[in-house]
A and B are shown apart, each in its own frame.
Chain A
């Protein structure tokens, strides 16, 4: 175990040294090879060398990052698309038959439906709760403490959150004392206790609650900052005109932060599309709670079918694609105005 910790420490040091050596060394080499301050060099040569150095240097700075990005993200995108057209152990081209399988597979359809429900519910409720909390927290003196507490789940792992909520949903037989909060409430109201995680269709919604619990803090922080950005004069003017707080909220605040609302919404949407840990830890995709990311893991690892696994990954990518394009266009627009 000690060996392992030392290994990690050595890795950090080696990485630091390697980075320093690469960046310093490559710059030194560039300056050496294309030196301009040699005695007796013609001015034209000197200028040409200087220009060439200026053209090469950015790529020296970028090279390691580009290598990492192409190896770990760009190449895999194409490779996954290719593998999705191959058979289970990627030895034979099978055309679109994995996609045909997916469309006809009841579990895949179930996951698609569940993902759709997650997409419909989680971003909407997280954003709504986040907005309400952001507005409320600005009105009380202990708002920052409240925000910290609501933000805290963001720091916890999805698995940790799953344990926390599985305890909330814990179920025991009707003749035993309930130790899960939800069942204690239900039995307290005189109803029989429920085994929530196997209770179709409620179990899916109860899993969504976990992600809403986590993501609300994110929405709150971003929206709170956006609300602070609304000029105080605008709000004051509305108040003088006799608008009440509810009217101000809907007619002034919301329109002013629409852009931020969309950003929050799309960011949570992407998180939802990739949600894996919660389903994996809570139900393993059983009892009709399957989602695409977990289904992909199952096909990839439990069944070792890289063709079908890749197919499901491609479906997730296709779902993310519109948001990706929208983001790129926004970023390019920002570039243009700079």
Chain B
């Protein structure tokens, strides 16, 4: 009994199990994977999408409705002042004030209006309203109004009209113009470039030679040096800030120069980027075929010639990987720039500028989103065009050592 039953179930169950797993693997499994991944991707890109869309929305609309409704017409409440008593005209014995509530701002459609801020939807369009100042007011959907009275208007201050209007979605590049010009973002963009390019080139120059020595030259202490570099890979930047700043201050005190400046930042970024640079390049160079080196040695080439004419060109992928890393790192860095370049308005890099904007313009989302997009556009271009090298560097940098 105990042996017979399982066999029987197995034979009966086998086809079902097979068909279920067939469908499970090819249909349901696939479908679940697709949907799950789609949800995750949507969740991951949603915040960035919000930033991009908001940065090109009209500032007023952005302040009134969520960016996910940006394609729908938005309903807004606002107020406008009617024409003054001086602007009245006499037409056939009646006194008339005419004008446009939207003041020429086209594209909007009036839905309702009122004479108090408490209730801007008091009257429907087409209704004739008796004003406190005397006379009758009619308003058209396009915003034009006509205020008619039998007696001359004699008020000193024109009344406010509160209204509800629907405006079509409006997109504009104005936010970028504002943020680039009047908020110093353009200036910071230049500053970021000024910091990033030399801070990317210099460490490569220094690291390439060192990496070659560690990969292909034998000398006592090589193993220890490699271990030290692996250790330095994870030393927190925070350890270096105070001592280096003190030295910079000291040097500035002696020479009478400035402690904070581009030169200091370039060198600091070089120092901080070197462990990774040497590590990545060395790991790559070690993998180059030994035979090429040896045959070159046989032909009488010295290390310097082998390095410049063979190893350097062959190491291009690793050099590119590191260059991308370092560029992104420096471009995105806030701390080093803040400390070694300073926080004066003319010296702020993009990240520092954004932090400042967050503090001073925390509610002007049209400026913040546009500014943020300006700061992330360069990394995004680098990233999407050179993703292959970036990923390769990431793999080499972390899987092997940490």
Instruction: Chain B residues near A301: list those with CB within 8 A.
Output: 339
In the complex, which residue of chain B has the Cβ closest to the Cβ of A137? B37
Interface string of A153-195 (1 = CB under 8 A from B): 1111111101111111010000001111100100000000000
Q: Report whether over half of chain B's contact residues are helix, strand or loop; otherwise say mixed.
A: helix
Quick check: is B289 within 8 A (CB to CB) of the other chain?
no
Q: Is the CB of B242 within 8 A of A222?
A: no
Quick check: is B328 within 8 A (CB to CB) of the other chain?
yes
Quick check: is B64 within 8 A (CB to CB) of the other chain?
yes
Q: Which of B132-156 contact A (CB under 8 A)?
A: none
In the complex, which residue of chain B has the Cβ closest to the Cβ of A210? B47
Interface string of A258-284 (1 = CB under 8 A from B): 001001101100100110110011000
Instruction: Chain A residues near B40: list those with CB within 8 A.
Output: 129, 132-133, 136, 146, 150
Q: Is the CB of B334 within 8 A of A280?
A: yes
Quick check: is A8 within 8 A (CB to CB) of the other chain?
yes
Shortest Cβ gap from B74 to chain A (Å): 9
Q: How far is the CA of A171 from the CA of B213 in the complex (A)?
A: 56
Q: How far is the CA of A326 from the CA of B230 in the complex (A)?
A: 10
Q: Which of B240-272 contact A (CB under 8 A)?
A: 240-244, 246, 262-263, 266-268, 270-272
Task: Report which of A1, A79, A222 forms a contact with B243, defined as CB distance below 8 A.
Answer: A79
Q: How far is the CA of A267 from the CA of B398 in the complex (A)?
A: 7
Q: Is the CB of A177 within 8 A of B64?
A: yes
Task: Report which of A151, A179, A326, A330 forms a contact with B65, defined as CB distance below 8 A.
Answer: A179
Q: Is the CB of B44 within 8 A of A153?
A: yes
Q: How far is the CA of A242 from the CA of B201 in the complex (A)?
A: 55
Known: A23-B304, A179-B65, A313-B239. A156 touches B376 (CB 8 A): yes
From B47, B190, B401, residue with most partner A Cβ within 10 Å: B47
Q: How far is the CA of A129 from the CA of B44 in the complex (A)?
A: 11
Quick check: is A15 within 8 A (CB to CB) of the other chain?
yes
Q: Is the CB of A68 within 8 A of B354?
A: no
Instruction: Chain A residues near B333: list those with CB within 8 A.
Output: 157
Interface string of B373-388 (1 = CB under 8 A from A): 0011001101110010
Q: Is the CB of B328 within 8 A of A316?
A: no
Quick check: is B332 within 8 A (CB to CB) of the other chain?
yes
Instruction: Chain A residues near B295: list those with CB within 8 A.
Output: none
Q: Is the CB of A75 within 8 A of B372?
A: no
Q: Is the CB of B209 within 8 A of A324?
A: no
Interface string of B189-205 (1 = CB under 8 A from A): 01101100110011001
Instruction: Chain B residues near A316: list those with CB within 8 A.
Output: 236, 238-239
Q: Is the CB of B229 within 8 A of A69?
A: yes
Q: Report whether over half of chain A's contact residues are helix, strand or loop; otherwise say mixed.
A: helix
In the complex, which residue of chain A has the Cβ closest to the Cβ of B332? A157
Quick check: is B316 within 8 A (CB to CB) of the other chain?
no
Task: Report which of B187, B223, B274 forms a contact with A65, defined as CB distance below 8 A.
Answer: B274
Instruction: Chain A residues near B64: list those with CB within 8 A.
Output: 177, 179
Quick check: is A323 within 8 A (CB to CB) of the other chain?
yes
Instruction: Chain A residues near B41: list those with CB within 8 A.
Output: 146, 149-150
Task: Report which of A74, A137, A320 forms a contact with B234, defined as CB distance below 8 A.
Answer: A320
Quick check: is A12 within 8 A (CB to CB) of the other chain?
yes
Q: How far is the CA of A242 from the CA of B10 in the complex (A)?
A: 13
Q: How far is the CA of A310 from the CA of B239 in the complex (A)?
A: 7
Q: Is the CB of A167 within 8 A of B368?
A: yes
Q: Is the CB of A83 within 8 A of B243?
A: yes
Interface string of A113-156 (1 = CB under 8 A from B): 00000000000000001001100110110010010111111111
- A-B pairs, 5 with minimum CB distance: A72-B271, A157-B332, A65-B210, A155-B383, A61-B213
Show the binding face of B for A, using Cβ within 8 Å: 17, 21, 24-25, 29-30, 33-34, 36-37, 40-41, 44-48, 50-51, 54, 62-68, 187, 190-191, 193-194, 197-198, 201-202, 205-207, 209-210, 212-214, 217, 219, 222-223, 225-244, 246, 262-263, 266-268, 270-272, 274-275, 278, 286, 302-304, 307, 328, 331-335, 339, 350-351, 354-355, 358, 365, 368-369, 371-372, 375-376, 379-380, 382-384, 387, 390-391, 394-395, 398-402
A155-B390, A324-B235 provided; 19 other pairs, C-beta below 8 A?
Answer: A4-B262, A61-B210, A61-B213, A73-B232, A136-B33, A150-B44, A151-B387, A155-B380, A157-B334, A162-B358, A167-B50, A170-B365, A218-B394, A222-B395, A226-B399, A244-B24, A263-B402, A313-B239, A316-B236
Show the binding face of A for B, using Cβ within 8 Å: 1, 4-5, 7-9, 11-12, 15-16, 19, 23-24, 27, 31, 55, 57-59, 61-62, 64-66, 68-69, 71-77, 79-80, 83, 90, 129, 132-133, 136-137, 139-140, 143, 146, 148-160, 162-168, 170, 177-181, 184, 213, 216, 218, 221-222, 225-226, 242, 244-245, 260, 263-264, 266-267, 270, 273-274, 276-277, 280-281, 293, 296-297, 300-301, 306, 309-310, 312-314, 316-317, 320, 323-328, 330-332, 334-335, 338
